[in-house]
Amino acid sequence: MAGDKFASLIGSERPEATNIVIFGAGGDLTKRKLLPALAHMHRWNLLGPHSRIIGCVRQKWSKSHWVNYVHDQLLHYFPEAVLNPASWRRIAEKLDLVNGDLSDPALYRQLADALHADEGKKNALFYLAIPPSWYECVCKHLHDAGLADESEGFRRIVVEKPFGMDLASARDLNGKLQSYFDESQIYRIDHYLGKEAVQNLMVFRFANSVLEPLWNRNYIDHVQISVSESLGIGYRAGYYETSGAFRDMIQSHLMQVMTLVAMEPPVSLNADDVRDEKMKVLRSMRPIAAEDVEHIAVRAQYAAAQVNGEDVPSYRDEQNVAGDSCTETFAAVKFYVDNWRWQGVPFVLRTGKRLPDRVSEICIRFKEPPQKLFHLDEEHVRNNELVFRLQPDEGMQLSMTAKQPGLSTHLRGVKLDATYGMLGSGMPEAYETLLHDVMLGEAGLFSRADEVEESWKIVAPVLDVWAQQTDIATYAAGSLDIPGMDALLDECEGGWRDLSADSSS
Ligand code: BG6
């Protein structure tokens, strides 16, 4: 399998020495995700001795300030990395810093000098952990400074979502990035694709033969993909007010996951073979008419409530949120994929903030048996379900019906359980997997330009209709009592899954 994305899952492939340049090194993403992910990679010996982590900040930090900063962040987010002095020393040796304004060519000259200071490889990964409004400026300057040129080593840029706010802005951004970097050098991160359970979905589907005969409209009633978060928007009003739950989660993470559930087996695991199949799913999705939006999409916003004995403010009372904001903090939508495999099977996606628990899962709900030979105790027995739990307790579960031991025929639901705890330890974080893949040049878990544009095209009617609305339904913070949500499953068997954190046990 060498050369394909899944070779990296085996965990033995070591990337070449790379200069990992982080724009926005003093920001939140860097401290919460990137530094811990890099320290994890270091622990697994996946950052070669000649790899460097070059922070790029606006502030006039000295290198020792940067080293202390990294130390303090790791102490907080991944203490093992610094509590062992030898391990920390080896990480600290890799740290370098450049500072300056993102729009100043001098910054990029400094960077070019830093990359050339090393006699070894000149490979570079530029991580844009900065607001998207800076992407074009940074890419242009990198290009003008000769840093997009791959003659001395690979040059890759990593961009975070949001990738556009709609089709026009996504196209515009793609065009701009592609005028400075080749598409093969651009890695658009969707961290959901780096989650173990999401990758396992592919393995489960295509490395086992038992599922394929069932994986279609003849046996599957519908698919539910849910990401429930218990926290509110925190300090992110500036971004969230312009985004809302639908753009923030559904257009990106949940639709990406959906394509992996619905795609045909790819010809190979090469990035483009996989992404071609995902793209075909997107192109098969039933277009949404404006007049159907009210029947297939639901949105709502959290209202003030007491959660676990504490007062939680309404969304509109969060810091920097407009008092009359109609931004949705919950969104759900029902999609159809009009092809032979999936005709008529609803794919229902839902996500929200300030819901009861933090739970993410993909549920494949199978149809009822064609004949009811047994008297089913509805409370204990449900349709067969295959659930991929993304968090917490990552793993897979197949719910079946079995006879309860005894002289009478009482049926019970039982679960065939494969939590990752059973499969072995050492589960990587999504960012670790994705950074490792960028360094290996494996693009299979990253969104291609056409996928991003196609998904914006699909969701546009929903966003357009919602943009005209001047009111929004509410739900009490900490509840999943969302007006209109149940109606989305009217034609489906079994209703919504219980999303409480312990529903897997
Ligand atoms: C981010 C969204 O992409 O994903 C956040 O912008 C959301 O709003 C987060 O909270 C959820 O990620 P995870 O991995 O915690 O489920």
pLDDT digits (tens, 9 = 90+) for 367-404: 998 887 887 666 666 789 999 999 888 889 999 988 88
Same domain, 261 and 309: yes
CA dihedral (186, 191, 194, 198) positive or negative: negative
The per-residue pLDDT for range 169-222, each reduced to its tens digit, is 999 999 999 999 999 999 999 999 999 888 889 999 999 999 999 999 999 999
Q: Is residue 37 part of a domain?
A: yes
Confidence at residue 381, expressed as pLDDT on a 0 to 100 scale: 67
Last residue of a domain, one of 103, 135, 160: 160
Q: What is the rounded average pLDDT for all residues in the chain?
A: 91
Query: For a substitution probing ligand 1, which of 161, 241, 242, 249 has the most ligand atoms within 8 Å of its CB?
Result: 249
Place of tokens 């998904």: 455
Q: Is residue 347 part of a domain?
A: yes
CA dihedral (173, 178, 183, 186) positive or negative: negative
User: Six-digit token pair at 325?
Assistant: 């904001």
The dihedral formed by the CA atoms of 457, 216, 298 and 305, expressed in degrees to the nearest 10? -130
Minimum mean pLDDT among 186-190, 328-332, 367-371, 492-496: which range? 367-371
Same domain, 250 and 345: yes
Q: Above 50 in pLDDT, residue 9?
A: no
Has 71 been annotated as catalytic? no
Q: Do residues 150 and 124 touch, judged by C-beta distance below 8 A?
A: no
Same domain, 265 and 351: yes
Confidence at residue 403, expressed as pLDDT on a 0 to 100 scale: 86
Residue 485 belongs to domain with CATH number: 3.30.360.10
Same domain, 147 and 228: no
Q: Is residue 375 part of a domain?
A: no
Report which protein residue has its CA nearest ligand 1's atom 2. 248
Helix (H, G, I), strand (E, B), or coil: what is residue 284?
helix
Same domain, 260 and 357: yes
**Residue in 42, 191, 222, 253 annotated catalytic:** 253
> Which atom number of ligand 1 is nearest to the Cα of residue 236?
8
Q: Is residue 485 part of a domain?
A: yes
Place of tokens 């739970």: 359
Q: Is residue 503 part of a domain?
A: no
* Cα–Cα distance for residue pair 334/32, rounded to 1 Å: 33
Place of tokens 């009210």: 294
Going by pLDDT thresholds of 50, 70 and 90, the confidence category of residue 1 is: very low
Same domain, 103 and 234: no
User: Six-digit token pair at 138?
Assistant: 């940074």
Peptide bond into 392 cis (omega under 30): yes
Provide the domain count of the chain. 2
Q: What is the mean pLDDT of residues 501-505?
A: 55
Q: Is residue 90 part of a domain?
A: yes
Same domain, 76 and 218: no
Q: Is residue 276 part of a domain?
A: yes
Same domain, 156 and 213: no
Q: What is the mean pLDDT of residues 49-64?
A: 93
Confidence at residue 391, expressed as pLDDT on a 0 to 100 scale: 86
- Strand (E) positions, 328-391? 330-336, 346-352, 359-366, 385-391
The percentage of the chain sitting over the pLDDT mark of 70, rounded to a whole number, equals 93
Same domain, 209 and 258: yes
DSSP of 226-253: EEE--S--TT-HHHHHHHHHIIIIIIII
Range of the domain at 320: 193-368+448-489
Same domain, 233 and 153: no
* Cα–Cα distance for residue pair 503/354, rounded to 1 Å: 18
Same domain, 136 and 234: no
